[in-house]
Structure 1
Amino acid sequence: MKGRGMWGAVGWGAGVLALLVGLPLAAAGRLPDPVATHWGAGSDGPDGSMPLWAAVVFPALVWVVVVAAVVFGARRGPRRAWGRAALAFGGVMLAGAQASVVRANLDVADWRQAGDVTGWGVAVMAGVALLAGAGAALPGRRAGAAEPPAAEGPRMEIPDGERLVWLSSAANPWLQLLAGLFALAALGALLAGLAGLAADPWLTAGTLALAALAVLACSSVRARVTRRGLEVAFGPLGYPVRRWAAEDIESARMEVRTAARAGGWGYRINGLGTTVMLRGGECLVVRAKGRDFAVSVDDAARGAALLNSLRVGKG
């Protein structure tokens, strides 16, 4: 796990750690000391407790060990998907468990009077954790290799019987960080509601979650040219997707653009047409149905050359 992946793991780890520590501390004035922390199967109430400070520190230490194990394991092995899934699932489950403990102990004088752990809340957090783990694992499985085109220039020769494929991608780590912050804020709002610290968290959590998904979808892009035309997939899951048939593309070119010229970062629409601006520099620009679409990816000249050749061949 290197570069952006390492910083992403550290950022997620720090955010979950803040939730694990912050939830009980925010409710400390409404909690008994010690607090109930264990409910046996079939029991009428809690059957185990911890001092409040231990209830704060213990899950935090467990989380630090999990993050350290994932980071260390990822550095020693080639696969990364399992690490992302473990961090996503483990973080949501631990934070959900902490919120459930806080809610059960809220406003009681003695830990033996604590209520049961909320069943619906546990079910919701388990479902969210499973979705988070599965979603985190998927990007690592979507790998592909490009067959390099044969020539530079506005067009290239395509030998009879050959099928050339051009692939390129780009990502903006700052947009990915912003999406992560929105996701952590959504999780925090949901946990605050589960812990009884917020009356109606669903609107806030839902709005923040939608914002996280929208920013995440605009944070990375993958462009592919095949004999059928151009396909541009957004986000780490490769969805949504925009497609242009080869016969509908009027022209293709490489053009150098900056964020200032495009009107900012992300998905921009202005006088230049539509631009997916993730980093300044070369962009693949296609004109179809009288409108320009540009995407900031590497090796754009080769992609444009292949598209022009396919367009001529279809004509």
Structure 2
Amino acid sequence: MTDEGATDEGATGEGVTDEGAGTVQPGAGKPARRGARRGALWGAAVWSVGVLALLVALPLAARHRLPDPLATHWGGRDPDGSMSLTAAVLFPAGLWLVLVALSALARRYWDLRTPGAAAAVLAGGGVLLTGAQTSIVHANLDRVRWQDAAPMGIEVVLIMLATAGATTLAWLAGRRNAGPAEQRPAAGSPVLQVPAGERFVWLSRAANPWLQLLAAVLGLAAVAGALTAASGLAGPDWSIALSFGLPALAVLACSSVQARVTSRGLTVGFGPFGRPARHWAPEDLVSARAEERTAAQAGGWGYRINSRGTTVMLRRGACLVVRTRQGAEFAVSVDDAERGAALLNALIARSGQPTG
């Protein structure tokens, strides 16, 4: 659907479109996803530095319990190659720095053509190298000679599965959030009229870079706890990994949000994959509006519930606010909230519900 006199690009470059024609009119204004990109960059930086620290710290923390040289290669299940402790620290660290440089190049020059490639390289490479370093430390722990290192078996399979999983998830998340630089629509967007039988979609995303950074720090602490337990340095104690991992997932889910309006109503998805999600059909809603809100009014950042209802507050400014037939309100801070509210009100009116 096109609306003459108003361009309609939302927070992701995917504005109001006619699904049959498949066209999107470009918006006008300045980019609006700088916060999300900044959060992704900070998260990548924390992950890069954290993985480097783990690769160096794991063998050094266990150096008094490791042989020198230590086994670093296995032919089948038995060790058949070794490195000095210094080489075992520096080699994976140097390889990781190369992968970080490659991911930076991929993001800089090929991000539009291969979205998600940089994230996949960082995630998969980090899991592979830290997993390999952990298994090497565990196999050599408390051995007199490197030839006496424990055999490798299921560890290799688990590392490869974890690497494949991390690579796939990072690639999917990168592709989902890829797109041209978003642009805010011009002020004073008109109320859109939706002709009967016409299909459309409005999509807007928002992210809080500080919450993304916090999720990255917590996640890295969880990885460090898991690797310490898996290497045998601290015994089979997974409490640190769980105590940091669960909050990391919760913060990650609340650090970004996607609002989508179609003929089926409003869907709000959380986190990099848009899951979990909440959905309201047009007949479930009474009205929609755009309203200026602050974090203080919402009770803080993230997913908040107070006397004003439920608010997903990721940045100050306009929020898309809907009122349900049960009298509850749900607000989400996304760009182009005025246009999303206008489309929802058109859907509500079409379904025979009030819009006031």
Give me the TM-score of the superposition, normalised by structure 1. 0.91
Return the alpha-carbon distance in structure 2 between the equivalents of residues 144 and 55 of structure 1: 40
The equivalent residue for 2:8 is none
| Percent of residue pairs bearing the same amino acid type | 57
1:69 aligns with 2:90: no
1:140-166 CA distance string (max 9 Å, x none): 3336899x9xx835x432234432322
Selected match of 1:82 from 117, 122, 129:
117
Answer yes or no: is the 8 Å Cα contact 1:6–1:71 preserved in 2: no
1:175-232 CA distance string (max 9 Å, x none): 1111112221222122112211122233432343322221111111110111221110
The equivalent residue for 1:116 is 151
Selected match of 1:168 from 204, 208, 215:
204
The residue identity in structure 1 corresponding to 2:208 is N
Selected match of 1:28 from 55, 63, 76:
63
1:46 counterpart SS class: strand
Q: Which has the higher contact order (CA 8 A, sep 6+)?
A: 2
- In structure 2, runs of 5+ residues without a counterpart are 1-36
1:39 counterpart SS class: strand
1:287 aligns with 2:287: no
The residue identity in structure 1 corresponding to 2:133 is Q
| Correspondences of 1:29-108 after superposition (within 5 Å) | 29-41=64-76, 45-77=78-110, 78=112, 79-108=114-143
1:184 aligns with 2:220: yes
1:309 aligns with 2:334: no
Return the alpha-carbon distance in structure 2 between the equivalents of residues 104 and 161 of structure 1: 65
| Correspondences of 1:102-251 after superposition (within 5 Å) | 102-117=137-152, 119-142=153-176, 152=189, 155-251=191-287
Answer yes or no: is the 8 Å Cα contact 2:269–2:277 preserved in 1: yes
Deviation at 1:277, TM superposition (A): 0.5
**Root mean square deviation of aligned Cα:** 2.2
The residue identity in structure 2 corresponding to 1:299 is D
1:122-149 CA distance string (max 9 Å, x none): 3333222222111101123336899x9x
The equivalent residue for 2:34 is none
The residue identity in structure 2 corresponding to 1:172 is N
Answer yes or no: is the 8 Å Cα contact 1:9–1:71 preserved in 2: no
Answer yes or no: is the 8 Å Cα contact 1:92–1:129 preserved in 2: yes
Selected match of 1:300 from 330, 337, 340:
337
Answer yes or no: is the 8 Å Cα contact 1:179–1:212 preserved in 2: yes
Higher helix share: 1
Return the alpha-carbon distance in structure 2 between the equivalents of residues 125 and 181 of structure 1: 22
1:165 counterpart SS class: strand
The residue identity in structure 2 corresponding to 1:61 is G
1:115 counterpart SS class: coil
Return the alpha-carbon distance in structure 2 between the equivalents of residues 128 and 207 of structure 1: 20
Return the alpha-carbon distance in structure 2 between the equivalents of residues 180 and 130 of structure 1: 20
1:86–1:237 Cα change, 3 Å = same
Give the number of aligned pairs. 308
Return the alpha-carbon distance in structure 2 between the equivalents of residues 134 and 201 of structure 1: 28
1:16-66 CA distance string (max 9 Å, x none): 101100101111111122211122236xx4222211111111100010011
1:112 counterpart SS class: helix
Return the alpha-carbon distance in structure 2 between the equivalents of residues 290 and 309 of structure 1: 19
Return the alpha-carbon distance in structure 1 between the equivalents of residues 243 and 160 of structure 2: 21
